[in-house]
Amino acid sequence: MSETIQVVCPHCDATNRVPPARLSAGPKCGRCHKALFEGAPVALDRARFDRHLSGSGLPLIVDFWAAWCGPCRAIAPIFARAAAELEPRARFIKIDVDANPELSARFGIQGIPALFCFVDGKVAAQQAGLSDPGLFRTWVDRFASARA
């Protein structure tokens, strides 16, 4: 029996089953036929985030941010670089807290940027701000390798 990992498409939100060995081979969505990984963070709203949270077998690294927030803008290129380097071992997601206040309330976010790692739909780690640019690699190494 071949093990698979569920990967939610960043374009159409369809759940795809991908063998772990094929994650790096440029898998495409079975529904929309677009790439499942593009090496960039995916901006989601509440409904789409809930689909990814409940359907993903990958760790989700999430940046809760706002356009007016200076520290959020400073972290953005670091977050984008991490997505480019660390996908497909994890999915990188951006949530605009102004457009999605219910998500901020649900996860008790009191300050931004707020960085979270979700595994199996639950918060596995979180941090306010970015004190160490290696944080994302640490989270991916810790949580993605536990799934492999």
Closest by CA to 65, choosing from 86, 44, 85, 48, is: 44
- Asked if the model's pLDDT at residue 63 lies above 60, the reply is yes
| Half-sphere exposure of residue 18: CA atoms within 13 angstroms, side-chain side | 28
Average pLDDT over residues 124-134: 90
Computed over every residue of the chain, the mean pLDDT equals 94
105-121: pLDDT as tens digits: 999 999 999 999 999 99
Active site residues: 69, 72
82-110: pLDDT as tens digits: 999 999 999 999 999 999 999 999 999 99
Instruction: State the pLDDT at residue 131.
Output: 79
Query: According to CATH, what is the number of the domain 38-145?
Result: 3.40.30.10
Where are the domains positioned within the chain?
Answer: 38-145
Neighbours of 26 (CB within 10 A): 10
